[in-house]
């Protein structure tokens, strides 16, 4: 089956009924609107019944409309430019509160991620990090903030953590030239996927390293060679991606490592507290007069 939704629809077009063709035409021409419609609303604008929309989804090979709905959103995110993403998001917020809409949607993404995440893959990711000879963390563009957060916290525990900075194609491989079997590379990427990061993950896998992918789904290009793939729901909050669900997965990884390495983590943090106190890193004054 073609991976792109538009290809799936076009391949199935000759066998569709007239009503299904109207749905197909609307999705193809107005994907940016259809991706955020309910089945009943899509049927209304296409001039067909809600049941026809559900049958349309099943005829395309989906389990039902919710799966087609997710596929439309994924296809949309991969195709739109930053300006188009902002326009789509602004249309969604036009009739309601931006604050309520964004926070409610973020809470739903975390809930959905929790329901669907592969627990065995999560356990494998934790073990890959704990047993690694060296740990490399890669995240490009908007995902770099997640990579930096993970690097900061893992570096408090392990001495062998390397953050691969945003770099040109050749510099990326210079950062990874020493990666080898027994090392773990944590790759973080969400649509639109960075070509440099995809190449880096492929390179690490070819060197025998364990790749832990934190991404949006099994169709992600960094999931195919991953020893453990953790899927988090993400979507357009506006021109910026919502990354609360992947951040929650990263927090869960850190918490699980803390439980597994309780004594080591406690000692490392106590050593840090002593250094911070000695050099006055944090302000601990209390009750100062205003």
CA–CA distance from 6 to each of 13, 26, 144, 218 (Å)?
10, 11, 30, 18
pTM of structure: 0.70
Q: Tell me, yes or no, whether 106 lies in a domain.
A: no
The residue that leads in pLDDT, 80 or 44, is 44
Give the range of the structural domain holding residue 13, as residue numbers without chain letter.
5-79
pLDDT at 106: 87
Q: Binning pLDDT at 50, 70 and 90, where does residue 24 land?
A: very high
pLDDT beyond 80 at 2: no
Q: Measured between alpha carbons, how far is 232 from 121 in angstroms, rounded to an integer?
A: 13
Q: What average pLDDT does the structure give for the chain?
A: 85
Q: Tell me, yes or no, whether 92 lies in a domain.
A: no
The residue that leads in pLDDT, 171 or 164, is 164
Write down which residue in 33, 55, 79 finishes a domain: 79
> For 144-167, what is each residue's pLDDT tens digit?
999 999 999 999 889 999 999 766
pLDDT at 228: 97
Q: Binning pLDDT at 50, 70 and 90, where does residue 242 land?
A: confident
Residue 245, strand partner residues: none
Question: Are 64 and 139 in the same domain?
Answer: no
Question: Are 10 and 74 in the same domain?
Answer: yes
- Transcribe 180-222 into DSSP letters: -TT-EEEEE--SSPPHHHHHHHHHHHHTTPEEEEEES-TTSTT
Q: Tell me, yes or no, whether 204 lies in a domain.
A: yes
Long-range CB pairs of 199-205, under 8 A, 24+ apart, other chains included: 199/169, 199/172, 200/138, 200/164, 200/172, 200/173, 200/176, 201/138, 201/225, 201/226, 203/173, 203/176, 203/179, 204/136, 204/176, 204/179
Question: Are 151 and 260 in the same domain?
Answer: yes
Q: Tell me, yes or no, whether 87 lies in a domain.
A: no
Q: What is the tally of structural domains in the chain?
A: 2
Q: CATH number of the domain that 30 lies in? A: 1.10.10.10
pLDDT at 86: 54
Q: CATH number of the domain that 270 lies in? A: 3.40.50.10490
Question: Are 265 and 207 in the same domain?
Answer: yes
By residue count, the chain amounts to 290
Question: Are 247 and 125 in the same domain?
Answer: yes
pLDDT at 83: 47
pLDDT at 265: 84
Q: Tell me, yes or no, whether 12 lies in a domain.
A: yes
Q: What percent of the chain has pLDDT over 90?
A: 48
> For 93-120, what is each residue's pLDDT tens digit?
555 677 887 888 889 889 989 999 999 9
Q: Binning pLDDT at 50, 70 and 90, where does residue 123 land?
A: very high
Q: Would you state the structure tokens that stand for residue 265, as one six-digit string?
A: 């983590």
pLDDT at 98: 77
């Amino acid at each position: 089956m073609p991976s792109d939704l538009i290809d799936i629809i076009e391949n199935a077009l000759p066998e569709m009924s007239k009503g299904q063709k109207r749905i197909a035409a609307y999705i193809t021409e107005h994907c940016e609107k259809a991706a955020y419609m309910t089945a009943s609303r899509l049927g209304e604008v296409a001039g067909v019944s809600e049941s026809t929309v559900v049958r349309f989804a099943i005829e395309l090979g989906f389990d039902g409309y919710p799966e087609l709905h997710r596929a439309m959103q994924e296809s949309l995110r991969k195709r739109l430019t930053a300006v188009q993403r902002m326009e789509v998001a602004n249309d969604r917020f036009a009739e309601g509160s931006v604050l309520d809409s964004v926070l409610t949607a973020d809470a739903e993404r975390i809930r959905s991620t929790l329901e669907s995440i592969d627990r065995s893959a999560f356990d494998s990711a934790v073990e890959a990090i704990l047993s690694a000879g060296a740990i490399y963390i890669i995240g490009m563009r908007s995902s770099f903030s997640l990579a930096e957060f993970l690097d900061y916290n893992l570096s408090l525990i392990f001495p062998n953590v390397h953050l691969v900075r945003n770099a040109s194609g050749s510099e990326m491989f210079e950062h990874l030239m020493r990666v080898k079997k027994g090392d773990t590379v944590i790759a973080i990427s969400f649509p639109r996927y960075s070509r440099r990061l995809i190449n880096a993950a492929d390179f690490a896998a070819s060197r025998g390293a364990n790749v832990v992918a934190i991404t949006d789904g099994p169709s992600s290009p960094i999931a195919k060679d991953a020893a453990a793939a953790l899927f988090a729901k993400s979507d357009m909050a506006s021109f910026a991606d919502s990354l609360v669900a992947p951040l929650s997965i990263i927090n869960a990884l850190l918490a699980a490592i803390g439980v597994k390495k309780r004594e080591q983590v406690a000692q490392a943090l106590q050593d840090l507290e002593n250094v911070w106190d000695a050099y006055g890193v944090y302000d601990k004054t209390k009750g100062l007069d205003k």
